[in-house]
């Protein structure tokens, strides 16, 4: 994907503050944090949004969730807790169309629903 912000972050064209990386997943600090701990987790393959998940590419989601416990440990929120958020599409406020999961910790206001 030539014009995707997160593809450019993954390939190093745009700088980021890396938190974690393996062969499938990249995680970096959000540039405009909405919580004391706010990290964006992306699959290295370009998938635009949750709308584009299929049986063929859904392992990318499992790869993210497999990495989450390690990322939470690095961030020091494993025991205190954290929220994982995926925004899909306009009504949910998605601004970058490379699927991503926000990991938010610290004071995140308790339960959201
Ligand atoms: P969403 O609004 O759910 O699509 O999430 C996109 C997130 O990417 C927002 O929280 C932005 O603050 C974040 N973001 C945008 N550009 C950058 C960047 N260059 N580095 C880190 N985070 C970014
Ligand atoms: Zn992308």
Report pLDDT for 113.
86
* Residue 95 placed within a domain: yes
* Residue 75 placed within a domain: yes
Q: Does ligand 1 come within 6 angstroms of the Cβ of 32?
A: yes
Report pLDDT for 1.
58
Task: Profile the chain (113 residues) by mean pLDDT over runs of 10 residues.
Answer: 91 98 98 98 98 98 98 98 97 98 94 88
Active-site amino acid positions: 100
Report pLDDT for 18.
98
* Residue 113 placed within a domain: no
Going by C-alpha positions, the residue among 37, 35, 99 that lies closest to residue 63 is 99
* Vertex 32 angle, CA 90 and 74, to 5°: 110
Q: Does ligand 1 come within 6 angstroms of the Cβ of 48?
A: no
CATH code: domain of residue 47: 3.30.428.10
* Residue 27 placed within a domain: yes
Q: Quick one: tokens of 48? A: 């635009």
Q: Give residue 13's domain range.
A: 5-105
Q: Does ligand 1 come within 6 angstroms of the Cβ of 31?
A: yes
Residue 44 CA to ligand 2 center (angstroms) comes to 8
* Residue 112 placed within a domain: no
Please check whether residue 69 is in contact with residue 106, taking contact to mean a CB–CB distance below 8 angstroms: no
Q: HSE-up of 62 (CA within 13 Å, CB side)?
A: 6
* Residue 63 placed within a domain: yes
Q: Quick one: tokens of 28? A: 């970096």
**Model confidence pLDDT, tens digit, residues 73-103:** 999 999 999 999 999 999 999 999 999 999 9
């Amino acid at each position: 994907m030539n014009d995707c912000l997160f593809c450019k972050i993954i390939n190093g064209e745009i700088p980021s503050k890396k938190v974690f990386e393996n062969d499938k997943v990249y995680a970096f600090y959000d540039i405009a944090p909405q919580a004391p701990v706010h990290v964006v987790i992306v699959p290295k393959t370009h998938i635009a949004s949750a709308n584009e998940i299929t049986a063929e590419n859904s392992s990318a989601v499992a790869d993210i969730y497999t990495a989450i416990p390690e990322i939470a440990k690095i961030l020091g929120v494993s025991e205190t807790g954290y929220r994982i958020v995926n925004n899909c599409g306009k009504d949910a406020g998605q601004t970058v169309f490379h699927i991503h999961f926000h990991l938010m910790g610290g004071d995140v206001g308790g339960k959201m629903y």
